[in-house]
Amino acid sequence: MDIRRLGHTTDLLGESPCWDARAQALCWVDSLAGTLRRAWPATGREEAHALPPPVGSIAPCASGAVVAALRNSFVRYDFTTGAVEPLARIPVDHPNVRLNDGKCDPWGNFLAGTMHIHRQPGEPLLGGLYRLRPDRTVERLADDIAFTNGPCFSPDGTTLYVADTVVRTIWAYDYAPQGPLRHRRAFALTEALGSGPDGATVDAEGCVWTGGLLVC
C-alpha cells in the first residue's frame, strides 16, 4: 500500500472526500472553515470555494455541481458561477445539532445524518438520518443516531452501513430507495479498539473500510 499526501492545503477539519469522475478531480471540504476544495492529481491543480460553515458533507452531481449538507439545510453549489442554491431544510434548528457525514445512494438520493453534541443526561436526542431526493423532498429515515458518520452502501445498494460514533458501532440496514430502513443490526463494534468509527466506504468486494479498520 502506497500512502501519499494529495495537494498542499491544511484544513481545520477535512471531511467528505469524494471522486468526481467527470472532472477527474477529488473534492472535499474543510468543514469548520466552510471551504470546498478540488484537486486534480494528474496536473497538481487546486482550487478553493467558499460555503457557509459548517459543511458536513458533499457529493458530486451529474451536472458537475455538488450537493452539500450545511448546518440544517441542503444546498447545491455551482463551481462555474459560485451560486449557492438552497434545496431543502431539515426540521431541526438547535445550536448543538448539525448535519454531518453524507453519501449518495446508487439511485441519486443523498443521505446525511446529524450530530447532537453536548447532550445532557436525559435530554431528548434531536435530528437523525435524512434522505434528500432529487425532487428536493426530505424524509427522516432514523431518529436514534447521536453522531452520524460513514454512511455507505453495499455494491448492489441493498445494504446501508452507518456508524454512530458515540456508541462506537457501525449499524447495517436493509435499504430500498423508496422505502424505510429495515432490519437494523450491529455490523461492527469498535469499543474494544478504544475508538469510534468515523468516515467509511465500501470496496468492489463489499468490504467496509473505516478509519483503518476493514470489515468483510
pLDDT score at 87:
98
pLDDT of res. 212: 64
Selecting among 11, 78, 174, 198, the annotated active-site residue is 198
Is 156 buried (19+), middle (13-18) or exposed (0-12) by CB count in 10 A? exposed
What's the grid cell of residue 55?
Answer: 459543511
CA angle 65, 67, 70 (to 5 degrees): 135
Mean pLDDT of the chain: 94
Q: Would residue 20 show up in a list of annotated catalytic residues for this protein?
A: no
Whole-number pLDDT of residue 194? 83
Consecutive 10-residue runs of the chain (216 residues): their mean pLDDT?
Answer: 83 95 95 97 95 97 95 97 97 96 97 96 95 97 96 97 95 97 96 88 93 71
Q: Quote the CA–CA distance of 52 and 168 in Å, as a whole number.
A: 29
Per residue in 116-162, pLDDT tens? Answer: 999 999 999 999 999 999 999 999 999 999 999 999 999 999 999 99
